[in-house]
Amino acid sequence: MAGARGSVYVASRLVPDASTAFSPGAVAVKCGLVVAVGTPADVERETPAGFERVDLPGLAVLPGLVNAHTHMSIPRLSGLEGTPALSSLPFVDWILRVIAWKRNAPAGEIATNVGVASREAVSSGTTAVGEISGPDADVAAYASLPLRARVFVEGIGFPPEVAGDVLSSVEETVARIDGFIRTGGRVAPGISPHTLYTVGPDLLRGLSLLGARLGLPLALHLAEFPAEMEFLASGGGEVATRLYPAVGKDVSFFRGIGAPIGEYLRAAGILREGLILVHNVHLSRREIDDLRAGGAAFVLCPRSNAAHRNGSPDVTHFVDAGIPFALGTDSLGSVATLDMWEEMRAAAGLYRGELPGEEMCRSLFRAATENGARALRLPSGTLTPGAPADFVAIDDPGGETAGRPFSRLVDRGEAKEVRLTVIAGERKHGHP
């Protein structure tokens, strides 16, 4: 950790947020917090004598990246001999394979997976995550997480008779995670009604009320794949005919939600500030606008959607309409890496609007930093005085003379070029 006297990191470039850049720039850190940012001369004037100086020539210092949606407990899973790799399976087959893995995972595997995934994320420049913890996960795995995290505890249960037991389990697990931050950790709880096809109306209302009572954000996977939309519309399709029979559940009583998605979520009391909707591939622009008006935040996961052949989120509408959105990788069971640089490039490849490239990339950089932190209600995402000292130093991709620093970051940023990752003032990866 930066010593009690503090440290000043001086780099070829400093990008404290998506609106500002200094070349060269500096950030002063003490006791895990940012003390000052700006040009080296300005920071020197604002910083008391005695701070350690750390020179980072040829590097750009940026806010740590925020992976707003991942499942670190799910490892890379290869296909069985003679079968496709897991992420290339049709989506219902993929879900069933993940369920089979969870049922057969040996004791301790979840903690191992979380440790491996978190170290990979940190080494690629990620300093905060929105993590989904399954209802049966070993939440102790998150107690010593090196990242800043919002860990959403999943509630899963479609029949009305299971709602009470699931709610009790979720509340108990939330309390355990809440204890981590009380003992000095950087992990805070949230609640995840898993999906509208795995959470029935009774449980959805209960989880909504629980979140409101505890003052916690909620994360809901929504509109990820076509069979999901068919099930919500009519109660039919592969979710009803393949997924539920495979796990021994009867949902023949269900005939669809009977309302537009926004109306259904409003009736459940869940469409409000603090709701995070993840994926959003099969929503119309009118539905996106309606959900945004209701207070929802959005996370897009373009690489995961492409891997499963589920379609693509409407990046163009989110960018052009000025709708704040964040980015997430999903799990290593879906994508090859937890690399947010690749996620930004995947999103850039989906943009079809007329915004100049530099401004579009600025929007994507904001999505991968401050928007993610804001959606997760985590105190990071920008480098401003008083904020946590969560930042990365990466090989400076240039761009100043051409006026395109954000285009260069999105186009050229790579995990292997991250030389230093600092979280709460502690060096978690690399060294100056």
- From the first residue on, what is the mean pLDDT of each consecutive set of 10 residues in the chain (432 residues)? 76 94 95 96 92 95 98 78 55 91 86 94 98 80 92 95 96 91 82 98 98 98 97 96 94 95 98 98 98 98 95 98 98 94 98 95 98 97 97 85 78 94 96 74
2 is a domain residue? no
User: Is the domain of 106 the same as that of 157?
Assistant: yes
- 105/197 same-domain check: yes
Residue 142's CATH number: 3.20.20.140
Q: pTM (2 decimals)?
A: 0.95
Question: Is the same domain home to 110 and 247?
Answer: yes
Residues 87 and 214 in one domain: yes
If asked whether residues 263 and 310 sit together in one domain, one would say yes
Q: Which residues contact 294 (CB under 8 A, 6 or more apart)?
A: 262, 265, 266, 271, 272, 275
pLDDT number for residue 88: 66
Say if 120 falls within a structural domain: yes
Report the C-alpha gap between 45 and 42 in whole angstroms: 5
DSSP 5-40: T-EEEEEEEEEEETTEEESSEEEEEETTEEEEEESH
pLDDT on residue 86: 53
Task: Report yes or no on 1 lying in a domain.
Answer: no
Question: Which has the closest alpha carbon to 60: 21, 19, 30, 8?
Answer: 21
- Indicate which CATH number applies to the domain containing 24: 2.30.40.10
pLDDT number for residue 170: 96
**Tokens standing for 211?**
């979140």
Residue 173, CB-side half-sphere exposure with 13 Å CA sphere: 25
Is 39 part of any domain?
yes
Q: Which residues contact 7 (CB under 8 A, 6 or more apart)?
A: 28, 29, 30, 51, 52, 53, 54, 425
Q: Which phi-psi region, left, alpha or beta, contains residue 295 (left: φ > 0; alpha: ψ -120 to 50)?
A: left
Sort residue 377 into left (φ over 0), alpha (ψ -120 to 50) or beta: left
Domain count, the chain: 2
Cα separation of 210 and 260, whole Å?
24
Identify whether residues 222 and 244 lie together within a single domain. yes
The first and second tokens of residue 11, run together, are: 């780099």
Domain span at residue 242 reads 65-376
Residue 401 is predicted with a pLDDT of 47
62-88 burial string, b = 16+ CB within 10 Å, else e? bbbbbbbbbbbbbbbbeeeeeeeebbe
How far, in Å, are 30, 197, 269, 359 from residue 255 at the CA level?
Answer: 58, 12, 21, 45
State whether 160 and 116 are in the same domain. yes
Q: Where is the domain boundary, 376, 393, 420?
A: 376
Q: Are residues 318 and 289 in the same domain?
A: yes
Q: For the chain, what's the residue count?
A: 432
57 and 185 fall within a common domain: no
Please tell me whether residues 70 and 124 are part of one structural domain: yes
Give the pLDDT confidence score for residue 331 in this predicted structure.
95
Query: How far is 337 from 367, CA to CA, in rounded Å?
Result: 18
pLDDT of residue 80: 43
